[in-house]
Amino acid sequence: MKRFLTLVLALALCFNMLALTASAEETAEASLKITDEPATLTVFLPIEPNLQDYISDWNETPYFQALEQMTGVHVEFVQPAWSAAKETLNMLMVSGDMPDVIMCSNYYPSGSYQAVLDGYYIDIAPYLEEYAPDYWKLITQSDAVWRDAVNSNGIISSVYRIMTAPNPSWMRLVLKKETLDQLGVAEVPATIDDWDSLFSKMLAAGITPFMLEATGYDEKFIGAYNVRQDFYQEDGVVKYGQVQEGFRQYLELMHGWYEKGYISNDFVSASNNDTLFSVGDIGTYNKPVVAAFNFGKAEGYTVVSTPYPRQTKDQFLHWDSYKNSLVNKSLDFGNIAVSGSCKQVELAVKWLNFMYTDAGSTLANWGVEGQNYQVVDNQKQYLPVMWDYKGISQEGLNYYFKMHNMATITPPDTVCHANLLKNPEANAIRMEYDDDPLLDSALYLPDVSLTEEESETRTSVMTDIDIYVDEMVLKFIIGTEPLSNWDSYVKTVESMGLEDAIAATQAAYERYMTIGLEE
């Protein structure tokens, strides 16, 4: 009997502990909720292409199921196919019945700032300090972050993906180690002359050296001539890259390489670059370096990354766009706005703020604990399903268990990107050359907010200029237009109203530079 009573007491204690644990978990879960009553938001979010064959609704994903459980907010999605996303958003605007929240808010034709001016999105600035304190704290940490998070006149049209530190470059010119060994090349090319020498050896070995981008633009070789494509700024003065002397030098290099046979004759139309590189028909091309490395590992060859090309080894490059800002406004999922049709603005802003809490950012960056990752010795580790689940591709799983590129607070990819954490070598090749001491973003033009008049001016001018310039770039490279006609080309571009477009951008840039936190 005594043993029985001991057992009963032990079981009772166990159940009591379980009840206390459950109660604590329920309390913690309840503390995350942003509403005490059942609530629903409608959200525009196109279906990620890599998931469209596996889900019919975003609510089928563990990420959004967990998000609803944590916040207490159910989401009804407007979820067109990715290819129809912009058209669908336009139709919703015309109808006047838009969803509460617009993810991919940058899909508005003239940008999210203009969407506020046009009444399609609301200015969320008045709501942030009270209803989005976590996001507000992030964007008011410094003038630099604040300047990129707000638009002209203090308007805040969207929330964005904010980095804790810049991402290392993910696009590189890639090579095969086996090819370098075959050619007797011990070091990867560092200068343009090095590349020229390597290309000569590749061509002699029967390899087409370089698959240039189909547009004819390669930002890495352009950057070696101290210019950037399209608009950039130098010492506060806005310039247009494609009429600068440095760009002419770039075209001279590309044309020379094309004439020598270093650039593939099919660069404008080639669509199977991965295969051509894999089988050794081409020597190098621009590729996300980790994807190239992992593919090579699977196919039995070793991919080598390369530093940015320079004219001389000690040249300081100023074109890099990876370290220019911690506020990333270029990612579709990393731009979220509240629509002008929303009748629950406070709730919508609270829901957005959750993405910037510890729980919300962990969910977006890592996924669901116990499903696709675990914590061991206080370190998060992905489980095998993060790389192999129901036939979904790696890119698809990044939007299934978690929400890659989400508007949230996030560390660099090297901390939590599944592709990089698959093996240490992949992470290492992404980090290679990230510590380049002779590199900055001094030429970078930030994402400035144009007024309606400035936007109309620049758009009307640049629509025709872009078409003409893009055609001429290919003609100069291929040789159907001689570079001796460069001055005539520049005069034509200038006669099309370029100065008006530059003036509009300059005015917007100067306003941008005056934005700062009030003391």
pLDDT tens, 32-69?
799 999 999 999 999 999 999 999 999 999 999 999 99
Confidence of residue 424 (pLDDT cuts 50, 70, 90): confident
User: For the range 3-11, what are the long-range contacts, defined as Cβ-Cβ under 8 Å and sequence gap of 24 or more?
Assistant: none
According to the model, what pLDDT value does residue 323 have?
79
Q: Is the pLDDT of residue 108 over 60?
A: yes
Pairwise CA distance, residues 499 & 125, whole Å: 34
Reported as type and span, the H/E element at residue 174 is strand 171-176
The whole-number pLDDT of residue 110 equals: 81
User: What is the per-residue pLDDT for 420?
Assistant: 85
Q: Which amino acid is at 412?
A: P
453-474 per-position pLDDT tens digit = 999 999 999 999 999 999 999 9
Mean per-residue pLDDT for 378-403?
Answer: 95
User: Percentage of the chain with pLDDT > 70?
Assistant: 94
Name the pLDDT band for 70 (thresholds 50, 70, 90).
Answer: very high
* Nearest alpha carbon to residue 350 among 86, 134, 509, 201: 134
Q: Is the confidence at residue 516, as pLDDT, over 90?
A: no
Q: Cα–Cα distance between 499 and 494 in angstroms, integer?
A: 7
The pTM of the full predicted model, rounded to 2 decimals, is: 0.86
pLDDT at 30: 55
Tell me the CB-side half-sphere exposure of residue 427, using CA atoms within 13 A: 12
Condensed to tens digits (0 to 9), the pLDDT of residues 213-248 reads: 999 999 999 999 999 999 999 999 999 999 999 999
Q: pLDDT grade, residue 419 (50/70/90)?
A: confident
Mean pLDDT of 435-446: 95
pLDDT greater than 70 at residue 22: no
pLDDT at 27: 44
Residue found under tokens 């590749």: 202
Give span(s): CATH 3.40.190.10, the chain. 34-164+327-366, 171-319+443-514
pLDDT at 514 over 70: yes
Q: Which of these CATH numbers, 3.40.50.10860, 3.20.20.70, 3.40.50.720, 3.40.190.10, describes 171-319+443-514? A: 3.40.190.10
pLDDT at 483: 98
Least confident of 1-15, 151-165, 206-220: 1-15
pLDDT of residue 305: 97
In the predicted structure, residue 7 carries a pLDDT above the cut 80: no
Could you read off the pLDDT of 324-345 as tens digits, one per residue? 889 988 888 889 999 999 999 9
Q: 474 near 349, Cβ under 8 Å?
A: no
Q: What pLDDT is recorded for position 394?
A: 87
User: In terms of Cα–Cα distance, which of 267, 264, 266, 224 is closest to 247?
Assistant: 224
**pLDDT computed for residue 13 by the predictor:** 39
Average pLDDT over residues 304-317: 98
Residue 331: per-residue pLDDT: 81
| pLDDT tens per residue across span 359-374 | 999 999 999 999 999 9
One-letter amino acid for residue 458 of the chain: R
34-164+327-366 CATH fold: D-Maltodextrin-Binding Protein; domain 2 (3.40.190)
Q: Per residue in 245-299, pLDDT tens? A: 999 999 999 999 999 999 999 999 998 999 999 999 999 999 999 989 989 998 9
**Single-letter code of the amino acid located at 141:** Q
Mean of the per-residue pLDDT values of the chain: 92
| pLDDT band for position 16 (cuts 50, 70, 90) | very low
Residue that the structure tokens 């993405």 belong to: 355
Distance CA 507, CA 73 (A): 42
Q: What is the pLDDT of residues 110-145, one digit of tens each?
A: 889 999 999 999 999 999 999 999 999 999 999 989
pLDDT at position 19, please?
Answer: 41
- What pLDDT is stored for residue 3 in this prediction? 42
